[in-house]
Amino acid sequence: MVDLSSFLRGVNRPVVGVDISSSAVKVMEVNGSLSNIRLDGYAIENLNKGVVEEGALTDINQVADAIRRCVKRMRTSTKRCALALPSSNVIKKVVSIDENLNEQDLEAQIESEANQYIPFSLDEVNLDYQLLGTSKKAGHNDYIIAAARRERVEERVAAAEGAGLNPVIMDDEGVALQASLSFMEGVGESGTVVMMSIGAQKIQFIFIENGNIVNTREQAFGGWLLTQEMMRVYGWTSEQAERAKRQKNFPPNFEQEILRSFLNKLHLETSRGLQYYRTASKKEKIDLIILSGGSSTIQGAVETIRDKTGIKTIVANPFTDIPLSSKIKSDILHEEAPTLMLALGLAIRRFDEE
C-alpha cells in the first residue's frame, strides 16, 4: 500500500528532492526558509538507457542503487523525500463544489467528480485534491483533483524505499519545475513564459501565463538523438558519445556532419510546441522561453531557438543568488544548473506550509 502525504501538499519538514529522469537520478537538499534558502548538497548519478522508459521504471533496483549513491555522496541524514511523476502521467481537473459540504460529503463529491474525468477505475489510481479558492459560481469553491496510475506511483516509491528513503510527497513534474523558476531573477509573474525541459528522450513544454501553469505538452525528441547520430557517424559507443557531449570535445567536422541537422530538428519541435499553445490559447505573444534539462546546453541550442522564433531565450540557472554549502563547487553547479531545476523544485516542497 502506498502511503504518501499528497500529490499536492507539502510537509514543512526536512526532505530531499529526488528527480528520476530517463538518463539520470538527481538528489538535492536545501535548508533555511523559502525567503532565505541555502543549498546544502546535491548529487547526480547516470542511469543506463532503458532503465526509465516513457515514465515507467523498468529496473527499480538500478534506480534505487543510483539514489543510494547520491545520498551517500551528499552525506545527508534526511530520510524523507519528495518524488515526481511526468506531467503526462498525472490527470488534473479543476471542479466547483458546494462550499457548505462537510468533510465526508466533500470527499464523496470529489470521488464522484473524479469518476467522470478519470479514464480508469479509482481502485487503480492514487487520488488527491486541494482547495484553490472561491469559485466564480456562487456558493461554491474550486478544487483541483489530481490522479495517477497506482503502478507509476508505486514503482517510484519502491525505488526510493530501496535506497533507504521515506517518500512523503508525490508531485507533478511541471508544477515542481515552475516552482524552481521563482529563484530566477527577471522571471516575474506577468507575461507568457514557456519552459522547455529538454531531456534525453523528450521535451516537456510548460506554458505559464501571469505566474500560473495553463497547459503542458510532451514531445518525443531529446539529446539521445544526437548521441545516436554521433555513434553512427563516428563508430563510438554511447559512453564515448555522452562523454564528448559533457566535455564539449567534438571532431573538427561535428557541426557540419551532425550538429546542424540536430538543431534544425530542435527548431521544428520547438515550433510544433509553440504552435500547439497558440492554437489552444488563441494567443500569439510569448515573452520568454526558458531552457532546462540535460540537453538544454547543447552547443547552439539557445541561439537556434532564439533566432528562429524571434523570442528571448535563456538557459535556466536558479542558483545565481542562492547561498551554497562550502562543500559545493560553484563552477560545477552552474554548469549543471539546467539539469537540476526539477530536483530544486522538489527539495523546496519542505517549505510548503510556511
SS3 119: coil
What would the pLDDT profile of 230-284 be if each residue is shown by its tens digit? 999 999 999 999 999 988 899 999 999 999 999 999 999 999 999 999 999 999 9
Give the pLDDT of residue 11. 53
Cell of 163: 535506497
* Spatial CA neighbour of 130 closest among 153, 97, 157: 97
What would the pLDDT profile of 121-142 be if each residue is shown by its tens digit? 888 888 888 888 899 999 999 9
Check pLDDT > 60 for residue 101: yes
SS3 337: helix
What would the pLDDT profile of 239-254 be if each residue is shown by its tens digit? 999 999 988 899 999 9
Sorted by where each starts, the structural domains of the chain and their CATH numbers stand as 1-87+152-184+317-354 (3.30.420.40), 89-150 (3.30.1490.300), 185-316 (3.30.420.40)
Give the pLDDT of residue 128. 86
CB 81, CB 166: distance < 8 Å: yes
- Per-residue burial over 276-313, b = 16 or more CB atoms within 10 Å of its CB, e = otherwise: ebeeeeeeeebebbbbbbbbbbbbebbebbeebbebeb
First-to-last alpha carbon distance for the chain, in angstroms, is: 30
| pTM (predicted TM-score) | 0.87
What is the side-by-side strand order in the sheet with 90-98?
Answer: 90-98, 140-149, 125-134
Give the pLDDT of residue 3. 39
DSSP 163-204: TT-EEEEEEEHHHHHHHHGGGSTT--SSSEEEEEEE-SS-EE
Cell of 105: 460529503
What would the pLDDT profile of 12-44 be if each residue is shown by its tens digit? 678 999 999 999 999 999 999 888 999 999 999
Average pLDDT over residues 140-157: 92
Is pLDDT larger for residue 203 or for residue 114? 203
Give the pLDDT of residue 9. 54
Neighbours of 103 (CB within 10 A): 7
Give the pLDDT of residue 10. 52
Check pLDDT > 90 for residue 329: yes
Give the pLDDT of residue 270. 98
